[in-house]
Amino acid sequence: MSQTINILYLAAEAEPYVKVGGLGDVAGTLPRALRALSTDEVKIDVRLVLPMHSVIRDESLKPVGIYSIPRGESEVQAEAFEGVLDGMPVYFISGDPIRASGSVYSSNNKLDAEKYVFFSLAALELPRQIDWMPNIIHANDWHTATATYGNLVKRWEDKKNRIASMITIHNLPFLGPDIKDILESYGLPLANTDLPDWARVLPMPLGLWASDMIVAVSPTYADEILHDEFGSGLQEFFRNRTDTLRGILNGLDTASFDPRTDPVIEKNFSADDLIARKQNKSALQQKLGLPVLPDMPLLGMVSRMDQAKGIDIALSGLRMLGKKDWQLVLLGAGDPKIEAAAKSLQEKLPDRVRVETRYDAKLARQIYAGADIFLMPSRYEPCGISQMIAMRYGCVPLVRAVGGLHDTVTDSETGFVFVDKKVKAFNDTLRRALQLYPYHSRWANLQKAGMAQDFSWSKSAGKYLDLYKKLVEVVPSTSGRGLSEG
């Protein structure tokens, strides 16, 4: 007998409609990867729901309903539109709270709070408008976390309601603004929870508490949030919820990131033709005005410039290495102090260092394809995607063992790994890499091992599907503390 699992997938952003950060990559790809896992025995019907941000322009969208969300003695009108992405229904919700915000994420906490609480509650009512009921509500980060809380309240009110919920943590420190007054205005009471008092009024903690399953974006990150350094004050809560806490690595769009077909790199290549890759290195050196030295190790970084990324660790380490045999290409923007430090290194070593303080998707791919060693000395990295892209393009990653970097890079097999957040640890590891680089056969083995890794979304989607199956096999608890056997 065949089974259908209906998933309402909520996110603040998703490619190709709107993308600000990594969440946009995930939400634009995972739902389609899940649908692709459908078989004759199990059909996976995922439907993506997004806010109708002002930047979204798609004339093919069709209106599917106008409905009201009760708020106090009045109502807030929601408008729903439908589009199609690779055969998958995609819904967009509009309304005054969404239009008032303007950008995807504003600097006004009150506007964002109003926007995303309204969106989450309107998304819960959407299935009635389209005559389709989900088995699971899947939320992402604080922006849609209110949906899992609203779903739990609906289960309290209707004991026949068996809609389960899941939330994925992409970036825990962003817990969201205070929504207590907004929730109460929509008639949602604040529950008695085992959350710290300060957390009971924030959307992310409430959504985590209400969810039947919690997923962090890597197995190591799922463990890290149990501890003080990464738990954002919720570590005790997570320690009490380990039975429903999982870690699943994000995937990579391997069709897009493919050195065999990538149209923006100088020369396409494969693991069986690494000689051809060398043309990308010389083209990159020439483009950025570095001496074209094929045997000089070329270090690459593509990163937002902030403290979490550990760029200061790399810059300090490279200053200490001085004029040894290496070149560096750094692409990224962010903290002005870190940008200035990077520019200072370029001024000190003009024939060794090129810093581009901007984001350029084309140049980023050329760095992945042309650099020899990719540096990611992150202090904090829930999953990370750059190390996956680097390996796929034969660029050997040098990473700190944190979050998803720990799960994806194996020291001396697919890259180089250090543990301590210290310049010495970084430098010792970089020296190991530079010492191995001249041994071409051994270096090629590292490249090929990295290129052979399976970071496809189908692998990640399969693990999500296993959790979905578990959720629909048991009766969701009304306690907000996970699952109870039915």
What SS3 string covers 128-183?
HHHCCCCCEEEEEHHHHHHHHHHHHHHHHHCCCCCCEEEEEECCCCCCCCCCHHHH
In this predicted model, what pLDDT tens digit does every residue of 338-354 receive, in sequence order? 999 999 999 999 999 99
pLDDT in tens, 465-484: 999 999 998 866 655 544 44
Regarding whether 130 and 116 lie in a shared domain, the answer is yes
Chain position carrying tokens 């760029």: 311
264 lies in a domain? no
Residue 192 domain boundaries: 3-251+459-484
Shared domain check, 404 and 281: yes
- Residues (pLDDT < 50) of the chain are 481-486
User: C-alpha dihedral over 453, 457, 462, 465, to 10 degrees?
Assistant: 160
pLDDT (0 to 100) of residue 165? 97
Quote the percentage of the chain above a pLDDT of 70.
97
Q: Clarify whether residues 426 and 325 are in a common domain.
A: yes
CB atoms within 10 A of CB 42: 14
Which pLDDT score, from 0 to 100, does residue 477 have?
60
**Residues 299, 29, 258, CA angle at the centre, nearest 5°?**
40
Same domain, 200 and 300: no
What is the predicted pLDDT for the residue at 483?
44
Q: Is the pTM of this model over 0.85?
A: yes
Q: Are residues 84 and 230 in the same domain?
A: yes
Q: What's the rounded Cα separation, in Å, for the pair 428 and 430?
A: 6
- Residue 259 forms part of a structural domain: no
**Are 435 and 474 contained in the same domain?**
no
Question: Are 93 and 191 members of one domain?
Answer: yes
- pLDDT confidence of residue 2: 82
Predicted pLDDT of residue 466:
97
d(CA 57, CA 385): 27
Instruction: Say if residue 466 is in the same domain as residue 422.
Output: no
How many domains are contained in the chain?
A: 2
Identify the pLDDT of residue 161: 84
CA-wise closest residue to 259 among 242, 243, 272, 241: 272
**Quick one: pLDDT at residue 479?**
52
pLDDT of residue 1: 65
Same domain, 350 and 474: no
